[in-house]
C-alpha cells in the first residue's frame, strides 16, 4: 500500500518540479478556495473525530488542536494564500564561477522530490504542509494520527479535487488512510521514493521516527528553551521578556521552559521574578538556592532540567556565571531557542557563539523562533538538528541544489 | 567503549568550535609534518596490514588502495597542507536582516560538532578526513575496516601526538581500534553525541549504514554515471569525452558507466565509438539495437543498467530521444554525475533541469565531479543524497548554521 502511494508521489514530483511559479501559485490559491467552499464537508468529518476523541477521554489541549471551526478553516486558507506570496526558491541560481580550464560551474536550487510528514492530531497540518510542499515543487505524503483521520481524509479529498483542474498532478498530495502502526513503519523505510521525513508532534513520535526510519529525518519541534539573566541585565526589561517567553503560548515549542539567573542578582531579582510568574499562574520548580531564597518553591529534579513542560511550569536555577549557564543549556537543552539578557556585548557574543542551538537571542523573547516572525514565510516545523536545515523550515528549506557544469569538450587530465 | 569515545569527541568539539582559523591551520600543518616525520612507523604498520591482506587473498585493486609508500604519505601531508589553505567557513555571517519590530536577525555558519566516518581499506582517509574535520571545527571519530586497522591506528597515533602540542584537543581525532561489527553498530546509534555519519566505501557498506544508523547519514560515492550523445552532438568532440570519462580512472565514482546514444546517429556513431572504447580495453555490454549494429557485443541484462562496474566495462544503450535518455538516467542512475553531449541549448537545458543528479554536465567529462576540480578544495566524499549537501562535500559542507537574534526587549504580540 505505501509502496503504491510513494511511487505515485515520486511520479507526481517529476511533473511538479517542471512547473512555473505562476502555475504553482495558482494551484495553491485554488486549494485555499476549495477549503473555504467545502468547509461543511471538512467540519462534518472533523465532528466525527472530535466526538470520538471526547469519548476516548483525550486531554483538553489535544481536543483543542483537533477541533476545527470556520475560523480555523479560514486560517488554513489564509496560510495557503500566504504561501503563494512567498518567493519561489526553485530554479534560483545560487552561485556561478568559472574554472581555469574554462568549465563554467553553477549551483541551482531544485525541489527535494517527495516529502513525508508524520504528524499527530492537528488536521490543519494536512493543508499547511500540502501548500508548502507544492510551492517548493515537492510531492507530499501525509500520515496523520488516528484521532484526526476523518478530518485529514476530508481535507485531502478537498485539496486533491482542487488539484484536478490545475497543472499540479493530483498525486502531489496524498493522505494515508490507514493509521496502522505497521503502515507507518513501512512508510518510514521508503527511502527509494521519499527524500525526507518530517515528524511533527511530541517527543515520543519524533523518537520513534528517528529510530525506525531509513529515510533521512529532520527532527523538529522539541523545545526545552532557556532564558539566562546575567548580573548586568536590565531587570525592568527582563521581566516582560520572561513572562512573554513563558506565558504567551506555553504549549508552543519556542516557549521558555527554564530560567537561569546569575548568582550575584538572586536576592534582588528572584523574589520579584517568581512573584511575577506566579501572578500569571506559573508553577515554579527551583534549584536548592532558589528554594532557599523564595518560599514554597518545589525542588526541581534532575529530570526537570531535561523536561519540555509545554505548560504553565518553569524551572529556575541559580548559576555561578556565564560558563555555567552555557554548559547547563548545552547539556540539558534541545538545541531549539535560548536567550541571554545582558547589557554586556562580550557576554552576549560568547553566548551567541557557544550555545549550540538553532536560534540564540540577545535581549528578546524566544517566542520569535517561527518562520513568519523571522520573515521567512510559513514553515513546516522548527528543525532542532544540524543537518540540512536548522531552525524554521520554510519553503526554501524544502529544496536541495544541483551543480550544472557547462563545457566545451573539457576532459580531466 | 563507543560511548566513551563519542563523549570525548563531543567534549573536544566544544573546544574546537571556539578556535581561530590560525590555530586550526597551524594544527593541520603540524599534522602534515608529523606524518612525514613518522613515515617509517606508519609504513611498518601498513606492511603488517598489506601482508595479512595478501595472505587473505584480497583483490589487487583493494591491495593497491591499502598499500602505503613514501609517495602516498607525502600526498597525505600535501592534502593536509591544502586543507590549511582553504577558507575557513566557521563564523561566516551568511545573511543579516532587520524585522519591522527592530529585531536584527543573522545566520552564522558553525561546525556540525562530531563527524563519524565509517570506511573500508583506504588508510589515507584517516588523515584526509581528520584534516577536513579539524579545519571545519569538527571532532572526528574514524572507524576503518579490519584490513587497514594497523595502518589506521598508527596514523591516528601520529596525528594525536601532533595535536598534543596544539590548541586542538587530542580527542578531536579518534580512531576506533575495534573492528567488531557490534562496535560499528553501537557507533551508528550514538545520535546523542555524533551529528553526522559519512560512510565511505562500496554500495554494501553504505546500505548497511543507511539501514542501521539512527544518526543522520550522508550517502556518498556510488556513481552509475551516464553520458548521453544527442543526434546533433559534435561527434569528434564526443569521443575524447567518452574515453576520458570511462577510462581515465575507471575505479572512481565519477567515471562513466553507461553510454546512451540517440537512435538517429547509431549507424554512424556506434561502430566508431565502440571500436575506440575496445581499443582502450573496455568491454562493451549493449542493448539489442547496439548488438544488431556492432559485432560481438554482449547483451546487457536489466541488472547491468543498475550496475556501477568500477572497471573497464561500459553499458551502451540506444534511446529514442532526450525524453527516454532522461527517464533512463533517473530510473537506473545513482544521482551522481551525468553528461549530455549536444550542440543544442534547449536540449541541454532540459537535461540539466530534469536529470535528478548531483552534477549535470553539458559537453564535458563526468570525471570533474570532485572538490578540487570544482575549486571547492579537498572533499570527504561525493554526496548522492539530497539532504544537507549534494555533490562534493568540502570543508564548508561540514558546517551548519545558527540564527542569532539581537533585540532590545522585543516580546511577541
Q: DSSP secondary structure string, B33-87? A: HHHHHTHHHHHHHHHHHHHHHHHHT--HHHHHHH---HHHHHHHHHHHHHHHHSP
Are B411 and A18 in contact (CB < 8 Å)? Answer: no
Q: How distant, in Å, are the alpha carbons of A75, A320, B103 from that of A87?
A: 20, 46, 22
A375 Cβ under 8 Å from any chain B Cβ: yes
CA distance A385 to A227: 20
Are B363 and A241 in contact (CB < 8 Å)? Answer: no
Largest CA distance in chain B: 79
Amino acid A201: pLDDT:
85
Shortest Cα–Cα distance, B48 to chain A (Å): 34
B98 Cβ under 8 Å from any chain A Cβ: no
B306 Cβ under 8 Å from any chain A Cβ: no
Amino acid B58: pLDDT:
87
Q: Which residue of A has its CA nearest to B401?
A: A390
A400 Cβ under 8 Å from any chain B Cβ: yes
Tell me the pTM. 0.93
pLDDT at A31 over 90: yes
Amino acid A203: pLDDT:
83
B354 Cβ under 8 Å from any chain A Cβ: yes
Q: Is A240 helix (H, G, I), strand (E, B) or coil?
A: helix
Residue A179, class by beta-carbon neighbours within 10 Å (0-12 exposed, 13-18 middle, 19+ buried)? middle
Q: Which domains, ranges and CATH numbers included, belong to chain A?
A: 2-219+385-405 (3.40.605.10), 225-372 (3.40.309.10)
CA distance B384 to B390: 6
Beta strands A196-200 and A114-119: pairing type?
parallel
Render pLDDT for A326-355 as a digit per residue (tens, 0 to 9): 999 999 999 999 999 999 999 999 999 999
Best B335, B402, B406, B408 member to test A by mutation, with max A CBs in 10 Å, is B402
Render pLDDT for B335-380 as a digit per residue (tens, 0 to 9): 999 999 999 999 999 999 999 999 999 999 999 999 999 999 999 9
Render pLDDT for B189-209 as a digit per residue (tens, 0 to 9): 999 999 999 999 888 899 899
Are B367 and A237 in contact (CB < 8 Å)? Answer: no
Q: Are B285 and B311 in contact, with CB atoms under 8 Å apart?
A: no
Q: Are B405 and B97 in contact, with CB atoms under 8 Å apart?
A: no
Are B367 and A412 in contact (CB < 8 Å)? Answer: yes
A328 Cβ under 8 Å from any chain B Cβ: no
Render pLDDT for B13-38 as a digit per residue (tens, 0 to 9): 999 999 999 999 999 999 999 999 99
Render pLDDT for A230-281 as a digit per residue (tens, 0 to 9): 999 999 999 999 999 999 999 899 999 999 999 999 999 999 999 999 999 9
B345 Cβ under 8 Å from any chain A Cβ: no
Residues of B in contact with A235 (CB under 8 A): none
Shortest Cα–Cα distance, B309 to chain A (Å): 20
**Closest partner residue to A411 among B110, B365, B391, by Cβ?**
B365
- Could you give the angle at the alpha carbon of B288 between the alpha carbons of B287 and B293, nearest 5°? 100
Q: How many CB pairs under 8 A join A and B?
A: 206
pLDDT at A202 over 90: no
Q: How distant, in Å, are the alpha carbons of A239, A320, A338, B2 from that of A262?
A: 15, 6, 15, 36
Q: Are B317 and B327 in contact, with CB atoms under 8 Å apart?
A: no
Residues of A in contact with B366 (CB under 8 A): none
Phi and psi for A409 in degrees, rounded to 5? 95, 10
Q: Which residue of A has its CA nearest to B339?
A: A405
Residue B37: which residues within 8 A CB-CB, separation 6 or more?
Answer: none
Amino acid A369: pLDDT:
98
Amino acid B89: pLDDT:
96
Amino acid at each position: 500500500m505505501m509502496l503504491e502511494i510513494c511511487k505515485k508521489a515520486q511520479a507526481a514530483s517529476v511533473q511538479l518540479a517542471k512547473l512555473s511559479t505562476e502555475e504553482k501559485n495558482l494551484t495553491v490559491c485554488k486549494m485555499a478556495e476549495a477549503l473555504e467552499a467545502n468547509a461543511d464537508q471538512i467540519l462534518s468529518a472533523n465532528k466525527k473525530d472530535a466526538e470520538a476523541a471526547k469519548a476516548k477521554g483525550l486531554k483538553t489541549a489535544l481536543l483543542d488542536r483537533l477541533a476545527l471551526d470556520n475560523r480555523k478553516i479560514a486560517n488554513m486558507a489564509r496560510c495557503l494564500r500566504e504561501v503563494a506570496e512567498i518567493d519561489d526558491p526553485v530554479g534560483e541560481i545560487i552561485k556561478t564561477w568559472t574554472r581555469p580550464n574554462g568549465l563554467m560551474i553553477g549551483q541551482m536550487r531544485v525541489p527535494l522530490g517527495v516529502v513525508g510528514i508524520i504528524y499527530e492530531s492537528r488536521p490543519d497540518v494536512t493543508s499547511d504542509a500540502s501548500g508548502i510542499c507544492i510551492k517548493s515543487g515537492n510531492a507530499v505524503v501525509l500520515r496523520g494520527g488516528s484521532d484526526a483521520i476523518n478530518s485529514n481524509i476530508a481535507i485531502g479529498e478537498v485539496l486533491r479535487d482542487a488539484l484536478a483542474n490545475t497543472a499540479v498532478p493530483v498525486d502531489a498530495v496524498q493522505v494515508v488512510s490507514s493509521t496502522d502502526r505497521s503502515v507507518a513503519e513501512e512508510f518510514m523505510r521508503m527511502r527509494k521514493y521519499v527524500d525526507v521525513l518530517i515528524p511533527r508532534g511530541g517527543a515520543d513520535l519524533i523518537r520513534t521516527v528517528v529510530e525506525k526510519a531509513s529515510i533521512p529525518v529532520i527532527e523538529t519541534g522539541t523545545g526545552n528553551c532557556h532564558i539566562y539573566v546575567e548580573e548586568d541585565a536590565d531587570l525592568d526589561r527582563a521581566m516582560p521578556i520572561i513572562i512573554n517567553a513563558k506565558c504567551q503560548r506555553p504549549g508552543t515549542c519556542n516557549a521558555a521552559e527554564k530560567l537561569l539567573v546569575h548568582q550575584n542578582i538572586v536576592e534582588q531579582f528572584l523574589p520579584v521574578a517568581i512573584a511575577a510568574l506566579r501572578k500569571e499562574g506559573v508553577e515554579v520548580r527551583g534549584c536548592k538556592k532558589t528554594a532557599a531564597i523564595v518560599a514554597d518553591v518545589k525542588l526541581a529534579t534532575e529530570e526537570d532540567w531535561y523536561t519540555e513542560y509545554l505548560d504553565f511550569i518553569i524551572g529556575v536555577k541559580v548559576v555561578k556565571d556565564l560558563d555555567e549557564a552555557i554548559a547547563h543549556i548545552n547539556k540539558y537543552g534541545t538545541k531549539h531557542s535560548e536567550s541571554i539578557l545582558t547589557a554586556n556585548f562580550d557576554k552576549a557574543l560568547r553566548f551567541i557563539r557557544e550555545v549550540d542551538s538553532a536560534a540564540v537571542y540577545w535581549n528578546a523573547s524566544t517566542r520569535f523562533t517561527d518562520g513568519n516572525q523571522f520573515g521567512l514565510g510559513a514553515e513546516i516545523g522548527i528543525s532542532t538538528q544540524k543537518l540540512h536545515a536548522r531552525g524554521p523550515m520554510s519553503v526554501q528549506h524544502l529544496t536541495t541544489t544541483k551543480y550544472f557544469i557547462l563545457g566545451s569538450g573539457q576532459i580531466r587530465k
